[in-house]
């Protein structure tokens, strides 16, 4: 009796998607003005809330929009103070964790001793008022400066990384300085929790060690998406100059 072969042929798997090729990776270092986005963001929000929930107040011959809440001005001032403090005081690595634990400890201690009631009792005497024009004007100026710095000025100088070579390019003045990537080491500096994680949304500083005749060490500060950038840099350095297919950073 003849047997019938019932084996169903397996479908041919689709070909693997080709890896995206990276021939050049540009690393931009941003100024500390990048971390000032909460100030203009809070200012625009307060201006919007003042527009919808505020009232017209006569000051001399002018009428201005002002919100009756005395907390708006305090909130804006505290935001400005914290951004100035965070962008000028660096607390890295384990020190940032110690600062957080200290803040939590003092918060619990003040609650246990009943000091928060005394501190909050001072708040009714603290009244800072600002009109909608103040929030809108200051936030607009800061946003324009922030946008120009991040998307125009900071891009006038960058690091170009290709297999076998890393070049520091300065557009203004047309300056370039190249380094051999053989033996080059990249390190991520210990992060500042407040600056890099809270305000920087995952930014960081990259330290580079070069070898050979030009043995140097330098830091590229305030690199956005530093983890992804560092991974792509390490892959490009490990690629020989005649190899061009490198997985793109996620």
Asked whether residue 77 falls in the same domain as residue 120, the answer is: yes
* 182, two tokens: 């053989």
Domain boundary among 132, 151, 170: 151
Domain boundary among 101, 127, 151: 151
pLDDT of residue 40: 95
Asked whether residue 128 falls in the same domain as residue 206, the answer is: no
Work out whether strand 204-209 and strand 217-223 pair parallel, antiparallel, or are unpaired.
antiparallel
Asked whether residue 89 falls in the same domain as residue 179, the answer is: no
Q: What is the CA angle 102-95-200, rounded to 5? A: 100
Q: Which of 132, 128, 154, 109 is nearest to 48 (CA)?
A: 132
Task: Evaluate whether residue 14 is within a structural domain.
Answer: no
Asked whether residue 117 falls in the same domain as residue 220, the answer is: no
Q: In residues, how long is the chain? A: 250
Q: Which of 47, 44, 42, 68 is nearest to 56 (CA)?
A: 68
Total of domains in the chain: 2
For 218-250, b where at least 16 C-beta lie within 10 A, e where not — what string?
A: eebebbbbbeebbebbebbbebeeeeeebeebe
Task: Evaluate whether residue 13 is within a structural domain.
Answer: no
Asked whether residue 92 falls in the same domain as residue 168, the answer is: no
pLDDT at 246 over 50: no
Boundaries of domain holding 202: 25-32+156-237
Question: pLDDT tens, 47-72?
Answer: 999 998 888 888 877 888 888 887 78
Asked whether residue 146 falls in the same domain as residue 184, the answer is: no
Task: Evaluate whether residue 244 is within a structural domain.
Answer: no
Asked whether residue 37 falls in the same domain as residue 77, the answer is: yes
pLDDT at 144 over 90: yes
Domain boundary among 151, 172, 193: 151
Task: Evaluate whether residue 6 is within a structural domain.
Answer: no
Question: pLDDT tens, 194-242?
Answer: 788 888 888 889 998 887 666 788 889 999 888 888 888 888 887 777 6
Write down the H helix ranges in 114-186.
115-121, 132-151
Q: Which of 208, 229, 204, 226 is nearest to 218 (CA)?
A: 208
Question: pLDDT tens, 109-138?
Answer: 776 777 766 666 676 666 678 899 999 999
pLDDT of residue 243: 52
**Between the CA atoms of 169, 177, 223 and 18, what dihedral angle is there, to the nearest 10 degrees?**
80
């Amino acid at each position: 009796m003849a047997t019938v072969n019932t084996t169903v042929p397996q479908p041919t798997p689709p070909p693997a998607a080709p890896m995206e090729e990276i021939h050049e990776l540009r690393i931009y270092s941003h100024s500390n003005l990048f971390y000032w986005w909460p100030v203009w963001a809070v200012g625009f929000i307060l201006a919007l809330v003042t527009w919808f929930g505020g009232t017209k107040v006569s000051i001399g011959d002018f009428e201005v929009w002002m919100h009756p809440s005395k907390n708006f001005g305090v909130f804006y001032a505290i935001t400005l103070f914290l951004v100035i403090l965070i962008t000028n005081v660096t607390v890295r690595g384990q020190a940032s964790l110690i600062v957080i634990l200290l803040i939590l400890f003092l918060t619990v201690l003040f609650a246990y001793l009943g000091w928060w009631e005394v501190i909050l009792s001072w708040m009714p005497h603290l009244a800072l008022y600002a009109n909608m024009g103040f929030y809108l004007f200051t936030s607009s100026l800061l946003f324009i400066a922030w946008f120009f710095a991040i998307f125009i000025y900071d891009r006038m100088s960058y690091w170009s990384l290709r297999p076998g070579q890393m070049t520091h390019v300065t557009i203004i003045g047309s300056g370039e300085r190249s380094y051999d990537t053989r033996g080059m080491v990249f390190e991520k500096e210990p992060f500042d929790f407040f600056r890099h994680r809270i305000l920087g949304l995952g930014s960081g500083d990259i330290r580079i060690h070069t070898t050979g005749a030009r043995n140097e060490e330098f830091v590229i500060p305030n690199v956005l998406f530093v983890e992804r950038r560092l991974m792509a840099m390490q892959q490009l350095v490990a690629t020989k100059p005649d190899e061009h297919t490198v997985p793109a950073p996620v």
